[in-house]
Amino acid sequence: MLEKIFNLKERNTNIKQEAIGGMVTFLTMAYIIFVNPNILSTTGMDKSALITVTCLAAIIGTLIVGFWANVPFAMAPGMGLNAMFAFTLVLKDGATWQQALGVVFLSGVVFIIISVLGLRHKIIDAIPESLRVAIGSGIGLFIAFIGFKQMGLIVANDATLVGLGHFTPALVIGLIAFFVTVMLEHYKVKGSILLGIVLATVLGFIFDPNISLPTNFISTPPSIMPILGQMEVLSVLKISFIAPIFSFLFVNLFDSIGTAMACSMEAGLVDEDGKMPHVKKVLEADAVATMFSGILGTSSTVTYIESAAGIANGARTGLSSVFTAFFFLLAMFFAPLIGTVPAYATAPALILVGIYMAKHLVKIDFSELYLGVPVFLTLLLMPLTYSISSGIAYGFSSYVLLCIFTKNTDKIHPYMWGIGFFSILEIIISQM
């Protein structure tokens, strides 16, 4: 039966190989079980329910992509998108977390529509590569900034807006865990980010009087009823929410296409013409999973680049995704322990993921100002305004305007005119 479903012999693999690959993928991305609830709970959402929902979103998305596309990929709530959900849309812009879930759901609906209409690559091609890189790198700077804030390295300062924090148990433990995680990553230890979170939590139990061991380590998964189906769709069907919906869509689209292409090449799933016919199904699975995320009660689901770790260890088919989903299922029963993990323990994960996202900055061309200025605005405004959507809006709008005034309108793709218009509209609305 497994051979029929997943074509194991054709991909030159077996059940054992797929199981190992699936386990490795889980270990490298399991940090999201700790990080996502810590981030989203800042909006007032129930943290215990978020632990279960994070695992459920990962299970559903991973199973969909495994069975529908038969690829060794895994999905879970995306880093950057969860920060955008909590720190930008809710805490900065004043939306309720129920409205933010509605934005997630609608972005999934639009994602499905453009997938069916075949507009995915046209939208991607409309945006200059340097701007696409700037968006991913800017998100990396943003979530790293959040990580520094959570561990207390960066604090508010009346004179300079931000400044260095004083040494506290949280900061010392966070810094130790960060450097240990970096060393583990350097020596390619599987699950290094997860191990860093575990180390920081253990040190917290020992040295931080505010952290204590739970009475139970294993229990029935917490109920998801406090957040299940709480999304508000009708209240976000207004002009002021157009920009957030499309910002979620753009980030999800860039992330998924880039990850799908990288992992496909790693797994040898590219045909003789260099094409990846399964990518369409991967993006469709991502879109459906994002809709489910909004319904369940979490931020958008994306394909995880950590899937490449499982691929490097032999994963070649969707069967490895089934094994990854199974490990997420087991993780739900450790919610009491996961719930005690402090924010400073997950801060190193945010910083390191931010570094990985920012490493593509070397690809950006700053030689032409009509492109260099929008790129710079995108990079800088995301962390400084605590808003991914603001960085995207100023980047897109300034690109279109500068191309017009520098007589480089031939550089503007037809689709980019529409994207630029909505970006300018978003800036105007946000200032009203």
Buried residues in 258-269 as b, exposed as e (16+ CB within 10 A): bbbeebbebbeb
Residues 322 and 113 sit within 8 Å (Cβ to Cβ): no
pLDDT at 432 over 70: no
pLDDT band at 225 (very low <50, low <70, confident <90, very high): very high
Calculate mean pLDDT across residues 281-291: 89
Average pLDDT, the chain: 88
With a CB cutoff of 8 Å and minimum separation 6, the contacts of 238 are none
For 252, list phi and psi in degrees, rounded to 5.
Answer: -60, -45
The confidence score (pLDDT) of residue 50 equals: 97
The confidence score (pLDDT) of residue 105 equals: 95
pLDDT band at 213 (very low <50, low <70, confident <90, very high): confident
pLDDT at 430 over 90: no
Residues 259 and 126 sit within 8 Å (Cβ to Cβ): no
- 333-365 pLDDT tens trace: 999 988 888 989 999 988 998 898 888 888 888
Neighbours of 213 (CB within 10 A): 11
Neighbours of 230 (CB within 10 A): 17
- 406-419 pLDDT tens trace: 999 999 988 889 88
- 63-91 pLDDT tens trace: 999 999 888 999 999 888 999 999 989 99
Calculate mean pLDDT across residues 41-49: 95
Could you give the 3-state DSSP secondary structure of residue 75? strand
Instruction: List helix spans (H) across 187-278.
Output: 192-207, 242-267
Could you give the 3-state DSSP secondary structure of residue 312? helix
User: How many residues belong to the chain?
Assistant: 432
Distance, in Å, from the CA atom of 134 to the CA atom of 263, rounded to the nearest integer, reads: 21
Query: What's the pTM?
Result: 0.85
> What SS3 string covers 149-205?
HHHCCEEEECCCEEEECCCCHHHHHHHHHHHHHHHHHHCCCCCHHHHHHHHHHHHHH
